[in-house]
Amino acid sequence: MKKFTGIFILFFLILLYPQKALANSDYVLPYPSLMPGNRLYLVQEIKENWMKYWYFGNFGQFTYNLNRADKFLVEAKTLFEYKQYLLADRALKKSDYFFGQIFIYLERAEAENKDISENKKILSQASLKHLEILENLKNELPENFIWQPEKLSPTDIDIHQDINNSIKIRHEGI
């Protein structure tokens, strides 16, 4: 019993001291996640698709769609760097889709009399970051590319046109 009491007193002294926590955050794009071809990519996609129900509410949807747009932009950038143009182009189009959704939910939030000024600031910062990535990609990538998979018909990818379209969407967010 004495040992037990001793242990408790020791616990007490060590853990009684209040902890402090500080936080700081800037808008940054996420790390590249799993890439197409990975066995768990589909699982991740299913999970993330289901997560849209967890992010209910217009602010929630704003966050969800922005996160998804970020994620697919990073995915597209990585795939372009690895010259996986077809997959990269698909990821870029997905990023565009989610980025476009953001405006819908912001409008809905505004219609609910929610103050969206902070969200607009976040969107503006995100748009600038996206534009920075997209402009760099445009400078580094070929204008067109014909993707020729084995035993399948080729796909003509108009890379610059797709990037221009992405840039146009991002400009709306500034």
Q: Which residues of 1-11 are buried (b: 16+ CB within 10 A; e: fewer)?
A: eeeeeeeeeee
In the region spanning residues 76 to 95, those forming contacts with other proteins, defined by CB under 8 A, are none
Write down the residue that tokens 């980025």 correspond to.
99
Query: Counting contacts by CB under 8 A, is residue 100 touching other proteins?
Result: no
Closest CA to 28 of 138, 98, 119, 125: 125
Residues 47-66 that bind other proteins (CB under 8 A): 54-60, 63
Q: How far is the CB of 66 from other proteins (least distance, A)?
A: 12
Does 16 participate in binding other proteins (rule CB under 8 A)? yes
Q: How far is the CB of 14 from other proteins (least distance, A)?
A: 8
CB 97 within 8 A of CB 76: no
Nearer to other proteins, 121 or 168 (CB): 121
- Contact flag: residue 111 with other proteins (CB under 8 A): no
Closer to other proteins by CB, 26 or 115: give it.
Answer: 115
